Structure 1
Amino acid sequence: MIVNIALLADIHGNYEALKAVIEDAKKNNVTEYWLLGDILMPGPGSENIFTLLDQLPVTVKIRGNWDDCLLAALDGKLSLNSTDEIYLLRLAQYLENKLPPQRIKAIREMPLNVQKTINGLKITISHHLPTKNWGRELMATNSTKAFDDLFLTNDVDIAVFGHIHQQLLRYSSHHQLVINPGSIGQPYYPRKELRNDLRAQYAILTIDEQGYSDILFRKVRYNKEQELLSAATEHLPFLELYQELLNTGVNKDKDRPYLQKIIDDYHYKEEVAKWLSGRHSQLKEKNG
């Protein structure tokens, strides 16, 4: 039996990019889909993304670090003491009004790691490391030893992960295969000269009767103008940040002075404080 698996990672709320990738995957005879985490934020996509995914045979769903950030914001675990957390809180506030409770519940239930065996090959699937979905341990130029930590045991043959937003094929110290399909919503190129290509990225892993057959790295054009129009029409918070990200490939979400200016200009801190106060009152009422 031949299995063609579409590896989908780091959508980050980019509905138009996901839609184009799915259309491409169907043309390439994909038989199942693995979702490697970071489904939402900072793009405007919300329920429309889940509706697209509901139509597919998604057999693996992994929880990413941005998925955890959304949950932390909704659970009251973030504060107003930093620009980073105000940024996440405002995006979570935006999404809370667009997502039904069952979607949040489904995100909570996604594991950090899944192990699969297909035609005799043992595969480990995670967003980053098997027990940790955030960090920089697996950046593309890191040492081979760093990638050994993807494998909890030596009998695992292939590791699939997301998080770094770069397409990658390499091996562990024990010659185990390591695959990253890149990012659907936010392709990342540290080298400036490569940033002209910001097409959506994913990969197709093929396993046949003899084992690992092929890995096809795909780049797909999508309607960026429609994505940005949707972001503006739906009043996406930190719209300037998202526009710059899609147009230049540069993410300024760690540029604190820039974030602070946007927060001040749009009074996001006050808006989020009011939202948090309302949620706290609702929770208090609910618990009696």
Structure 2
Amino acid sequence: MHITLSHNLPKNNAGQGLFPTNDQQQMDQIMPLSGDYDVGIYAHVHHQLYRYTSQEQLILNPGSVGEPYDGWNVHQNNLRARYLLLTIDDAGIADLDYRRVEWDRQAEQKRALNDDLPYKEMYLRHLENGRNFIHDQPFLAQINHKHNYLQDVIHYSRKH
């Protein structure tokens, strides 16, 4: 069994090319052009996923332990940590076990409140309601300005 692992697309680490509701042609891009892969595993969009390519290769996304995401509100309100246990034996895939487990978000909120974290407001709001703000450009600009993050990045880049 040959498996390819990538954060997102094999040659593109950003964007929504592998969003679960995309058409088949976009999802087929998970498989690199070179090589015969049986399974493609990626994570970028934080959705648990079990799907096939046009050639019937398996596409899997384990979800996200720390920032699970679903666009549908009923599913998004379920903030359990999400992951996948994949069991492979000599015959191939023996089991796919998608899991969602509770975790202590209140303890994490207390820890985050006491730590000097960048983007703390975003993180605390995410812990509260599961919503991700990384694509909310006005909100990001407001936080970047409030905390002077641009200057932090410039200062860091000059040191390294």
Q: Which residue of 2 aligns with 1:125?
A: 5
* 1:261 Cα offset (Å): 3.4
* 1:154 Cα offset (Å): 6.4
CA distance in 1, matches of 2:131, 2:156: 35
* 1:125 Cα offset (Å): 0.9
Any idea what SS the aligned residue of 1:252 has? coil
Taking a change above 3 Å as real, the CA distance of residues 262 and 147 of structure 1, as seen in their structure-2 partners, is closer
* 1:232 Cα offset (Å): 1.2
Taking a change above 3 Å as real, the CA distance of residues 210 and 198 of structure 1, as seen in their structure-2 partners, is same
Give yes or no for the alignment of 1:243 onto 2:120: no
Give yes or no for the alignment of 1:215 onto 2:96: yes
Residues 186-201 of structure 1 aligned to structure 2 (within 5 Å): 186-201=67-82
Q: Is the 8 A contact 2:144 2:150 kept in 1?
A: no
CA distance in 2, matches of 1:172, 1:211: 18
Any idea what SS the aligned residue of 2:142 has? helix
Any idea what SS the aligned residue of 1:201 has? strand
CA distance in 1, matches of 2:153, 2:4: 39
Counting aligned pairs with the same residue, the percent is: 35
Structure 1 counterpart of 2:89, which letter?
D
Structure 2 counterpart of 1:268, which letter?
H
Give yes or no for the alignment of 1:202 onto 2:80: no
Residues 25-104 of structure 1 aligned to structure 2 (within 5 Å): none
**Match for residue 147 of structure 2 among 251, 260, 268:** 268
Q: Which residue of 1 aligns with 2:28?
A: 148
- Structure 2: runs of 5+ lacking an equivalent: none
CA distance in 2, matches of 1:208, 1:247: 40
Alignment RMSD (CA, Å): 2.1
Taking a change above 3 Å as real, the CA distance of residues 229 and 175 of structure 1, as seen in their structure-2 partners, is same
Taking a change above 3 Å as real, the CA distance of residues 142 and 131 of structure 1, as seen in their structure-2 partners, is same
* 1:277 Cα offset (Å): 4.0
CA distance in 2, matches of 1:226, 1:190: 26
Q: Is the 8 A contact 2:46 2:68 kept in 1?
A: yes
Structure 1 counterpart of 2:90, which letter?
E
CA distance in 1, matches of 2:157, 2:29: 40
- Structure 1: runs of 5+ lacking an equivalent: 1-120, 284-288
* 1:150 Cα offset (Å): 1.5
* 1:278 Cα offset (Å): 7.2
Taking a change above 3 Å as real, the CA distance of residues 211 and 275 of structure 1, as seen in their structure-2 partners, is closer
* 1:256 Cα offset (Å): 3.1
Taking a change above 3 Å as real, the CA distance of residues 263 and 145 of structure 1, as seen in their structure-2 partners, is closer
Q: Is the 8 A contact 1:138 1:147 kept in 2?
A: yes
Taking a change above 3 Å as real, the CA distance of residues 274 and 222 of structure 1, as seen in their structure-2 partners, is closer
CA distance in 1, matches of 2:4, 2:141: 40
More helix by share: 1
Q: Which residue of 2 aligns with 1:159?
A: 40
Q: How many residues align?
A: 159
**Match for residue 254 of structure 1 among 126, 129, 135:** 135
CA distance in 2, matches of 1:180, 1:259: 27
Q: Give the TM-score taking structure 1 as reference length.
A: 0.51
CA distance in 2, matches of 1:215, 1:278: 42
